[in-house]
Amino acid sequence: MNGSRNYWPIAAAVIAALSAIIVLPVIYDEYALLQLTIYAILSVLALSLAFIWGYGGILSFGHAVFFGLGAYTYAIGAMNFGETTIALLLSMVIPALFAAALGYFLFYGRISDVYLGAITLTVTLIFFDLASSTSGPQYRIGQVALGGFNGIPSIPQLNVPGFPDWTLSTTELFILSVAILALVYISLRLLISSDFGRVVIAIKENEVRAELLGYDARKYKLVTFVIGGAIAGLAGCLFANWGGFTSPAVFALGQSVQIIIWMVVGGVGTLAGPVIGCVLMQWLTSSLASFGTVNNNLVLGGILVIVVLLLPQGLVPTIARLARGRRPVQRLDATAGALGATPAKSEVGA
């Protein structure tokens, strides 16, 4: 019974991805596919923080730094190498290495909670200022001028490995983005269900007890942080492909805040929640853009306040609870219980 509960979200993700890949390119034009593509790309970004915060208990206020590093790394690599496969790989490796370096000092320095959030936020703002101050012709990496506030334009599209002249069309980029979204979701779902994932959740629930049982919380947090950084970097690479352009805006404070809003609206502690929160909030932003007199920040901020006050668990956990027809109850999480950690709150297997 538990096995079927663990695998139904994976089956649902596969069915949803295949349906989107097969059906949507047939019924939508290229402009609509571009909109759907950015939803998929940003959903990958949402999943990266969902894993770090929702399951690892690490609230990174500056998560956009990995997203921005992925975008800039891909742009610089693709324009210098003339082949995008290496640039794609580097867009995950560089953010992962930076996450490893930053995470080492954070976790082995026993920095947590609000201090960790403040440091990650500060790091993102530093990168924003650095990227913004590179407008002179002397600021270049290889053949690529960084451009300061103007950013890096004319970023090469991903090509099929081994076929440099076969670049992805709008439809192909949509298919790739949806496939990557499904792959990331499934990979994280399997990782969370593994022994590693159980330890990560147990550390989140009761770090002291997990360490007394012999688990190095610092190591597990570091690995979790690195995985999230690599996924965010991959999202940054796809974002640079989608727009053919990147700028310091990818490091902006608003980008980091936006990711947190997606999680709070959708539901922290789930994987499906942040994806739904991302798509919903991005759709609202796009819809409100057609009304020039409407202040997007005011409307979205109001939605956030309403969700926090009325649905403190987020949309997905609340809907799941209503579908079960019962109130949430305290239960012993199989993961935490196996490790001797404190009972966890009821979670949604989404």
The domain total for the chain is 1
Residue 141 within any structural domain of the chain? yes
Of the two residues 143 and 348, the one the predictor is more confident about is: 143
Residue 318 within any structural domain of the chain? no
Q: Taking 50 as the threshold, does the pLDDT of residue 341 lie above it?
A: no
Please give the pLDDT value at position 347: 46
Average pLDDT of span 244-252: 94
Average pLDDT of span 121-127: 94
Residue 226 within any structural domain of the chain? yes
Residue 333 within any structural domain of the chain? no
Q: What band does 71 get if pLDDT is binned at 50, 70 and 90? A: very high
Residue 266 within any structural domain of the chain? no
Average pLDDT, the chain: 87
Is the pTM higher than 0.85?
yes
Q: Taking 60 as the threshold, does the pLDDT of residue 1 lie above it?
A: no
Please give the pLDDT value at position 114: 86
Please give the pLDDT value at position 305: 87
Q: Taking 50 as the threshold, does the pLDDT of residue 62 lie above it?
A: yes
Strands 159-160 and 163-167: antiparallel
**CA atoms within 13 Å, Cβ hemisphere of 313:** 15
Please give the pLDDT value at position 345: 45
Residue 289 within any structural domain of the chain? no
Average pLDDT of span 12-20: 87
Residue 319 within any structural domain of the chain? no
What single string gives the DSSP state of each residue in 119-187? Answer: HHHHHHHHHHHHHHT--STT-EETTEE--GGG-B-SPPPPEETTEEEEE--HHHHHHHHHHHHHHHHHH
Q: What band does 336 get if pLDDT is binned at 50, 70 and 90? A: very low
Please give the pLDDT value at position 6: 63
- Under a CB-based contact definition with an 8 Å cutoff, are residues 124 and 66 in contact? no
Please give the pLDDT value at position 202: 95
Residue 175 within any structural domain of the chain? yes
Domain with 192, as residue range(s), is 2-252
Average pLDDT of span 180-202: 95
Q: Taking 70 as the threshold, does the pLDDT of residue 163 lie above it?
A: yes
Q: What band does 293 get if pLDDT is binned at 50, 70 and 90? A: low
Q: Taking 60 as the threshold, does the pLDDT of residue 19 lie above it?
A: yes
Q: What band does 333 get if pLDDT is binned at 50, 70 and 90? A: very low
